[in-house]
Amino acid sequence: MATTLSTSLAMAILLVVASLMCNTTQVSAQCGANVGDLISQCEKFVQKAGPTIPPSPGCCAVLKNVNVPCACRLITKDVEKLVSVPKAIFVARSCGLNVPAGMQCGCKFLI
């Protein structure tokens, strides 16, 4: 099991979660994230293994506080090894967050 982590984009893109996992101090301080809550509420929805599943209301509630563009700037290749970027995008959008096509998050451009 992988250790995990703006309304203009308030997601962990959950990549946010990924970024949060590897850069917890930076993300927490700069991007409005509660890393512990993101991990406990959202980890299972962005893991590389397993199917894509809709996020829980608890996960969505936590994501509403995350500044996604901020967190995306902190995503590294190491983070991308732990978290599924497509699943993170799915989770963010499923939670009603605006994740525009063409935005860069880590090494990926979102579609």
How far is Cα 104 from Cα 59, in angstroms, rounded to an integer?
22
Residue 59 CB-half CA count within 13 A: 28
Tens digits of pLDDT across the chain (111 residues): 333 333 223 333 444 454 444 544 555 567 777 778 888 899 899 998 999 999 999 999 998 888 877 877 777 788 788 888 788 888 988 999 877 788 887 776 665
Q: Please give the pLDDT value at position 12.
A: 39
Domains defined along the chain, listed by start:
15-109 (1.10.110.10)
* 33, 37, 40, 44: CA torsion to nearest 10: -40
75-84: burial string, b at 16+ Cβ within 10 Å, e else: beeebbebbb
Q: Please give the pLDDT value at position 58.
A: 96
Q: Please give the pLDDT value at position 13.
A: 43
Q: Please give the pLDDT value at position 53.
A: 95
pTM over 0.75? The answer is: no
- Number of CB atoms found within 10 A of residue 97's CB: 23
